[in-house]
């Protein structure tokens, strides 16, 4: 529990006036790879050169192979904890695959369902909060009700999750970022994963959207490992419960990556059967380019260590400045993630929107307050997501120094 200590109001105002006077123009709103990170994969643009066939002899330039190159699926199978034959390698975005899975469930009964979700009188998803705004936006786009569930240090509050899914057949799924969650950096404990896999649900077609976006995005020497959700679900008689998502978008090039979908054999057949109506095959040239560039699991790990060398100092700077400026103030708390792309800052109740407003007026763009909650509504108005990866280090330092000034003034006004 944070204790709000007294703030020198006059000093806070003077510091803020000085901040505004600097005429800053800084943006830490979204978790994009920086140009230096993208440069790490620049050699990929020279590939595949004159290699025009996949390992099975197929011409990569032509139609076909809806499931994607087996050599790329083999490369990421271990990282995503999905057997090669149950993994789909698709286009450049895992969000696209989440969208398609959602839409297909609305329009075509998923395995185990009696009818389409679109024919249900009510469809709801559980939304761990703080959470990922794009998950929430996708649900809202299709009129799916979002039910907030508190996040803990080991994942979503499973006592709440188990009670809700057992009682309400309209709850068809839950959004999960199980490793280095957006924005808290929390990784799900083995116990949380086991309970998600085993829990009884009132809806027979309940789905876990397991967005393992940061599977290899470590910031420390100790690489977090999570339990194998797909295997646990199968062991507990719920093989069709899980849809695993991942991508190379923050590994190679954000706009030219490869998205993955992993699931039970039954779910894979269901999805590919529907996908065949939309496309005749993915960009296999890009998929082979990834295989040739990354080579093997050791190559992926080495490449991600290079990413860490670029962004690690930025995360360290955020933690250092928050500690120096606010660490003993009693006003805030923040996360120190072991991986991923975000830091979650918790300010005094009723202050997050004011902090964001003050920062904007001083030339510092922050993610809108409330973005970490369904419908943009953080009931306590406390959570601010910080995205340190894209700006250069000096800009991160300036932005976080300015942010601390805004926090102090917002707290003083309360």
Reported as a single tens digit per residue, the pLDDT across 123-174 is 999 999 999 999 999 999 999 999 999 999 999 999 999 999 999 999 999 9
State the pLDDT at residue 44: 96
Cβ proximity of 178 and 193 under 8 Å: yes
Residue 190, Cβ neighbours under 10 Å: how many?
13
> Among positive and negative, which fits the CA dihedral 57, 61, 64, 67?
positive
pTM for the complete prediction? 0.95
Q: Which structure tokens are listed for 140?
A: 């809202």
pLDDT digits 0-9 by tens, 265-280: 999 999 999 999 999 9
Residue 242: strand pairing partners? 208
Please write the tens of the pLDDT for every residue from 311-365: 999 999 999 999 999 998 888 999 999 999 999 999 999 999 999 999 999 999 9
Dihedral Cα 269, 274, 275, 277, nearest 10 deg: 140
Query: Is omega for the bond preceding 48 within 30 degrees of 0, making it cis?
Result: yes
Mean pLDDT of 228-233: 98
Number of Cβ atoms within 10 Å of the Cβ of 399: 25
pLDDT digits (tens, 9 = 90+) for 16-71: 999 999 999 999 998 999 999 999 999 999 999 999 999 999 999 999 999 999 99
DSSP run (H or E) holding 289: helix 284-294
Domains of the chain are 9-30+300-413 (3.90.1150.10), 64-295 (3.40.640.10)
Please tell me the predicted confidence (pLDDT) of residue 6.
55
Q: What's the pLDDT at 8?
A: 83
At residue 176, φ and ψ (nearest 5 deg) are -140, 135
Q: What is the pLDDT of residue 55?
A: 95
User: 340: left (phi > 0), else alpha (psi -120 to 50), else beta?
Assistant: left
Report the alpha-carbon distance of residue 180 to residue 24 in Å, rounded: 31
331 within 8 A of 347, measured Cβ to Cβ: yes
């Amino acid at each position: 529990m944070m204790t709000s200590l007294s703030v020198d109001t006059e000093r806070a105002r003077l510091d803020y006036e000085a901040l505004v006077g600097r005429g800053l123009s800084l943006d830490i709103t979204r978790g994009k790879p920086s140009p230096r990170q993208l440069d790490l994969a620049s050699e990929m643009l020279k590939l595949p050169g004159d290699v025009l066939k996949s390992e099975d002899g197929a011409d990569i330039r032509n139609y076909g192979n809806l499931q994607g190159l087996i050599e790329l699926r083999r490369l990421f199978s271990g990282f995503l904890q999905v057997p090669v034959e149950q993994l789909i390698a698709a286009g450049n975005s895992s969000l696209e695959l989440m969208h398609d899975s959602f839409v297909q469930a609305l329009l075509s009964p998923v395995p185990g369902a009696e009818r389409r979700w679109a024919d249900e009188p009510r469809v709801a998803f559980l939304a761990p909060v703080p959470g990922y705004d794009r998950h929430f936006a996708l649900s809202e786009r299709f009129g799916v009700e979002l039910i907030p569930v508190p996040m803990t240090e080991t994942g979503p509050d499973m006592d709440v999750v188990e009670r809700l899914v057992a009682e309400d057949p309209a709850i068809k799924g839950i959004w999960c970022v199980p490793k280095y969650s957006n924005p808290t950096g929390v990784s799900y404990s083995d116990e949380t994963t086991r309970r998600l896999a085993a829990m009884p649900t009132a809806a027979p077609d309940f789905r876990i959207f397991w967005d393992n976006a940061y599977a290899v995005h470590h910031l420390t020497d100790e690489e977090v490992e999570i339990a194998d959700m797909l295997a646990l679900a199968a062991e507990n008689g719920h093989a069709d419960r899980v849809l695993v998502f991942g991508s190379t978008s923050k590994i190679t090039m954000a706009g030219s990556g490869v998205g993955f979908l992993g699931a039970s054999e039954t779910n894979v057949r269901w999805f590919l059967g529907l996908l065949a109506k939309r496309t005749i095959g993915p960009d296999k040239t890009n998929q082979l380019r990834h295989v040739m560039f990354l080579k093997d699991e050791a190559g992926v790990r080495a490449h991600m260590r290079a990413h860490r060398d670029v962004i690690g100092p930025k995360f360290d700077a955020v933690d250092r400045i928050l500690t120096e400026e606010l660490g003993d103030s009693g006003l805030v708390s923040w996360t120190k993630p072991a991986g991923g792309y975000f830091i979650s800052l918790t300010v005094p109740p009723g202050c997050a929107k004011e902090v964001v407003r003050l920062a904007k007026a001083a030339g510092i763009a922050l993610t809108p307050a409330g973005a970490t909650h369904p419908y943009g509504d953080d009931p306590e108005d406390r959570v601010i997501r910080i995205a340190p990866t894209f700006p250069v280090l000096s800009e991160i330092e300036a932005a976080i120094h300015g942010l601390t000034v805004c926090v102090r003034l917002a707290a003083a006004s309360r």
